[in-house]
Structure 1
C-alpha cells in the first residue's frame, strides 16, 4: 500500500471539475481518499443523530461529574462556564465538521492532520495524533463504564446504608458486566444498534422532562442570587476566585467532550459528507440546550448544598433527587433513568472507539495492524478491534482494585487528550488556510467565517487544556493530585518511542488501498447507470 498524496488528489479533483453533489457520494468520496468500502452503511441521519446525542448525553453526563463544579466555583462557575463551554464546543465542532465533510472517514483526526499538516512532517504529526486520539477515546470508554458502575454503587449505598460497604472491587466487577453486555450488542446484535440508539435518543429527551418536572414541583427553591451570583471557593483550598472558577469548568467541559463520536462512524453513515457535519452541529445544539436547562433546574432545586457535596453516595445528584422527593425509591428510579442513558451511550462509545482503532490499524498505526484491521465477512464490522477495546477496558478496570488514585489518573486523561486531539488538526487547518494553499472542501463549509471560527476554537481549546490538569484541591497530596498531565506525558512518550522503534520505518500516513483515479471512472459508470435507469 502507498501513502495518499494530498496535493496530487487535489489536482485530479480540479481536473475532473467534480460538482458538490458528486463529492457527497459515499463510494466516490471513499475512492478519492483511496479507501475501499468495507463496512455496511447502516445509519441514516436520524439514527446516527440519535447515537451521537446519546453518546454525548450532556445533561446526564453533567450529573455524573456535578461534584467537581459544585466543589470548585459553584453555581457561578457552572452557569457561566456552561455558556462558555457551549460556544467554545460549537466552534470546535464546526471546525471539525468542515474536515469531516471533505474527509468523512473513521480515522478522522489523524487522517485530517496528515491532510493539512506541512508535507515533510505530516506522517510524524499524524502518527502522534493517532496515538493521542486512540488513547483519549480508550480512556473515555473506560471512564464511562466506570461512571455507570459507580452510580449503581451509589444507589446501593443510598438504599442500604447500614448493610453495604463500598468496595472498589465491586465497581470493577460491575464494569466487567457492563463491558460484556456492550460487547455482545456491538457484535452479535449490530443490526439492532441503529434501532437501539433511536429508542435511546427518544429516552434521552423523554427522561429530561420526566426528571426535571419532579424537581421543579417538589424541591425547595434556591434564590436567583444563589444560582447566578454564588461563588463557592471555601471547599477545595483554592481561594483565588479566578482559578476556582476555571477549575469548576471540569463539569461543563466533560459533559461536551467526545462530540466527535459520530465522525468515527462515518464509514457506516449514508451520505456521510453531508450527514455527519450536520449531526455534529445538531448534537451540540440539542445537548447544549438540554444541559443548560437541566443545570438551572438542579441549581434552583438543589436543597442543602452541604449535604449534596458530602453525600455518602458519591454523587450529589442522587442526594438532590432524595431531598426533592423525600423518597429513596423515587430517587432510585430517577437516577436509574440516567444510568439507562449512560448504558446506551456506552454502546455507541465502544462502536466509535473501535472504528477509530480499526482505522488506525488499517493504516499501519497499531502493533499487529494486519490482525486488528480485519473486518468480519459475516457481520461486516471490525470484530477484533471491538474485542481489543473491550479487553483494554477490562484490564484497566483491574487498576481500580489496587488504587483508585491510579485508576483516576487514567480516567483524567480522557478530557485533556480529546481536547488535544481536536486542537492538532484545527491548528494544521489554520496554518494551511493562512498559507494560501488550496484546500479541497466538501459540501459543508463555514465559508468566509471559517478562519475566525477556527482561531476562536483553538483559543478556547488551549484555554481549557491549561486548567484541566490543575489539582482540584489544596494542599496537593498523592491522593488528590490531578494526574492528567503526567499520564498525557506518558502517552506522548509512548508515541515518540513507538515512532522511532516502528513508526518511522513503516508508517507513511493514511494508506491508499485503491488508485484514487478509479474514482472518476466509478463515478462516471454510476452516472451512466443512473441515467439508463431513469430513461
Structure 2
C-alpha cells in the first residue's frame, strides 16, 4: 500500500496529468488519489444552512404552489406533498449513504463510476456527470427566476398594486442578482462572510416562517373549514383520472425536499465530508419535511378569498394569500421582502454549488476548454472561471423569461427529470451489483434496511420522472405544454458530439479524494 506521502504525490499527478493516468482503461489507476484543490470554507453548521436555504422549504412552498394551481386544490397540495416528503426522504437516505461511502465533488458521477461493472466506468461516469451538469445549471437559473418574481411581487405590494411586472424587468432583476452573487462568490472575504451567514440561515428561515404563520393565523378571517382544506378536491386540469392529477400535485414537495447532490459538490470545502454531508442531508430533509407540511396547513387555512388566486398579485400565489389574509400592505410587504432576501441568499448558494460541479466536470476532461474552465485561482483558491461560466449560462437560460409564460414550469420540470435520472443511476447500480460494494466502515450505514430503501427510492424516482414529463393540463396547447422532457433530451443530446469530439479522448474517471474514507482509499491502494 502507498504511504500518505505517496498518495499526496500521486494526487498531484492526477490533478495535473490525469490523461496519461486514466485514458488507457478509462478507470482509476491503482494507487492514485486526488488531492484537495479547494480551501475548506464551510463548517457543519454553514453547510446545513446552505442546504436548507437552497429550497427554504417553509417560506418557498407558497411560491412553488404556483405550478400546481387548479391541480387538485388544497387537499392534493397537502396530501401530495406529504407523500412526496416521505419518498424524497428515502431518496435522501440512499444519497447520504453513497455520499458517505464515496465522498467526491463529482458526487453521483463518481458514485456511478465506483459501482459500475468493469469496463463501463467511463460510460456511467460521463453520462451521470452530463445529466448532473444540466440539473445544476437549470436549478441555478430557476432559483434566480423565482427570486425575480418574488422581488417584483414585493414591489407590487409596496406600490399599492399599481406596479405590474414585465418580462424584461424580470430579466434585468435576474441580471442584477446574479452579478451581485458573482461578486460574493469571487471575493474570498465576501465568500467567507457568506459562509458565516449561512450558519444562522436555519434560524432566519424558520423565524420568518413562524412570523408569517402566526400573523396569518391571527389576522386571516374567515377561515375555510377542515373539510375544504383537506378533502374538497378541485380538478381543473382536464385529466379525468384523479390519480394522475395527484402525482402532478406532488411537484412542490419534490421541489422543497430535494437537491440532495448540491452540498455534495462542496465535498472539498467541508471538514470530514464522509461524515458531514450525510448529517447535513438527513437533518435538512427531515426539517424541511416537517416545516413545509406545517406551513401548507397554515396557508390553506388562511385563504380567505379563493377567487383572487386566479389572478394573484405579481403572478405569485403567496403574495395574494398574504395580501388577503393580512389586509395590510406593510405586513404583506415585509413578509414578501423576507422571502425575497432568503431567496437571494439561497440563489448565491446555488451558484456556489453548481459552479463546483461545472468546475470538477471540466477538471476531469468532460467539457470543452477543460483546462481553462477547470483551473483554480491560486490566490483566492476559487474556481473563478467556472463561477463566471455558470453565471453566464444562468443568464442565457433566463432569456427564456422573455418568451412563453410557462418558462418556470418548464425549468422545474427539466430540473426534476435531470435530477431524478442523476440520482437513479448510482442507486440502481448499487441495487443490481450489490451493497457489498459499499465500504463496510462508512459513517452512514442503512444496514439491513438499505436494500429496501434503495429499491423504494429507485422506483419513486422512476415513477416521478415519468409523471413529471406529462402535460399538467388537457387539451395540450403551446401555453400549457410541459416542455421539460423535450428540452431535457434536446440538451442532453449535445453531450453526444461532445463525447466523440472531446470527452472520448480527454474524460477520465475521478479517483478518490485524499479525504475519502480509509476503506474507500484502500480499494484503490491510496492508504
Normalised to the residue count of structure 2, the TM-score between the two structures is: 0.89
Q: Which residue of 2 aligns with 1:56?
A: 55
Following superposition, the deviation at residue 357 of structure 1 comes to 1.0
Q: Which residue of 1 aligns with 2:4?
A: none
Q: Which residue of 1 aligns with 2:13?
A: none
Following superposition, the deviation at residue 377 of structure 1 comes to 1.4
Q: Which residue of 2 aligns with 1:471?
A: 471
Q: Which residue of 2 aligns with 1:367?
A: 368
Q: Which residue of 1 aligns with 2:486?
A: 486
State how 1:440-451 maps to structure 2 within 5 Å: 440-441=439-440, 442-451=442-451
Q: Which residue of 2 aligns with 1:229?
A: 231
Q: Which residue of 2 aligns with 1:39?
A: 38
Following superposition, the deviation at residue 499 of structure 1 comes to 1.8
How has the CA–CA distance of structure 1 residues 240 and 310 changed in structure 2, closer, same or farther, with 3 Å as cutoff?
A: farther
Structure 1 unaligned blocks of 5 or more: 13-31, 525-535
- Equivalent-residue separation in structure 1 for 2:104 and 2:174 (angstroms): 30
Deviations 1:163-216 (A, max 9, x none): 534311100000000001111111111121211212333211211111110111
Instruction: Judge which range, 280-289 or 190-199, deviates more.
Output: 190-199
State how 1:280-429 maps to structure 2 within 5 Å: 280-405=281-406, 409-429=410-430
Answering whether residue 66 of structure 2 is matched by residue 67 of structure 1, we say yes
Equivalent residues of 1:55, 1:349 under 8 A apart: yes
Q: Which residue of 2 aligns with 1:129?
A: 128
How has the CA–CA distance of structure 1 residues 449 and 159 changed in structure 2, closer, same or farther, with 3 Å as cutoff?
A: same
- Equivalent-residue separation in structure 2 for 1:66 and 1:438 (angstroms): 41
Following superposition, the deviation at residue 131 of structure 1 comes to 0.9
Answering whether residue 259 of structure 2 is matched by residue 258 of structure 1, we say yes
How has the CA–CA distance of structure 1 residues 213 and 33 changed in structure 2, closer, same or farther, with 3 Å as cutoff?
A: farther
Equivalent residues of 2:368, 2:498 under 8 A apart: no
- Equivalent-residue separation in structure 2 for 1:203 and 1:399 (angstroms): 32
Equivalent residues of 1:353, 1:389 under 8 A apart: yes
How has the CA–CA distance of structure 1 residues 500 and 36 changed in structure 2, closer, same or farther, with 3 Å as cutoff?
A: same
SS at match of 2:280: helix
How has the CA–CA distance of structure 1 residues 196 and 512 changed in structure 2, closer, same or farther, with 3 Å as cutoff?
A: closer
- Equivalent-residue separation in structure 2 for 1:65 and 1:8 (angstroms): 42
- Equivalent-residue separation in structure 1 for 2:490 and 2:286 (angstroms): 34
SS at match of 2:234: coil
How has the CA–CA distance of structure 1 residues 464 and 230 changed in structure 2, closer, same or farther, with 3 Å as cutoff?
A: same
Following superposition, the deviation at residue 58 of structure 1 comes to 1.4
Following superposition, the deviation at residue 155 of structure 1 comes to 2.6
SS at match of 1:144: helix
SS at match of 1:65: helix
SS at match of 1:120: coil
Deviations 1:471-526 (A, max 9, x none): 12221111211101101111331222322332222223225799x99x78x999xx
Q: Which residue of 2 aligns with 1:277?
A: 278
- Equivalent-residue separation in structure 2 for 1:56 and 1:290 (angstroms): 12
How has the CA–CA distance of structure 1 residues 433 and 42 changed in structure 2, closer, same or farther, with 3 Å as cutoff?
A: same
Answering whether residue 202 of structure 2 is matched by residue 183 of structure 1, we say no
How has the CA–CA distance of structure 1 residues 438 and 481 changed in structure 2, closer, same or farther, with 3 Å as cutoff?
A: closer
Instruction: Judge which range, 323-332 or 155-164, deviates more.
Output: 155-164
Deviations 1:336-384 (A, max 9, x none): 1111111111121111111111111111111111111111112112111
Following superposition, the deviation at residue 252 of structure 1 comes to 1.7
Q: Which residue of 2 aligns with 1:504?
A: 504
Equivalent residues of 2:132, 2:422 under 8 A apart: yes
Instruction: Judge which range, 106-115 or 463-472, deviates more.
Output: 463-472
How has the CA–CA distance of structure 1 residues 53 and 165 changed in structure 2, closer, same or farther, with 3 Å as cutoff?
A: closer
Answering whether residue 212 of structure 2 is matched by residue 193 of structure 1, we say no
Equivalent residues of 2:28, 2:511 under 8 A apart: no
How has the CA–CA distance of structure 1 residues 497 and 292 changed in structure 2, closer, same or farther, with 3 Å as cutoff?
A: same
How has the CA–CA distance of structure 1 residues 338 and 383 changed in structure 2, closer, same or farther, with 3 Å as cutoff?
A: same
SS at match of 1:119: coil
Q: Which residue of 2 aligns with 1:244?
A: 245
Deviations 1:435-465 (A, max 9, x none): xx54324222111111110001011111111
Answering whether residue 474 of structure 2 is matched by residue 455 of structure 1, we say no
Answering whether residue 98 of structure 2 is matched by residue 99 of structure 1, we say yes
Instruction: Judge which range, 87-96 or 501-510, deviates more.
Output: 501-510
Structure 2 unaligned blocks of 5 or more: 1-17
- Equivalent-residue separation in structure 2 for 1:493 and 1:452 (angstroms): 33
Following superposition, the deviation at residue 303 of structure 1 comes to 1.4
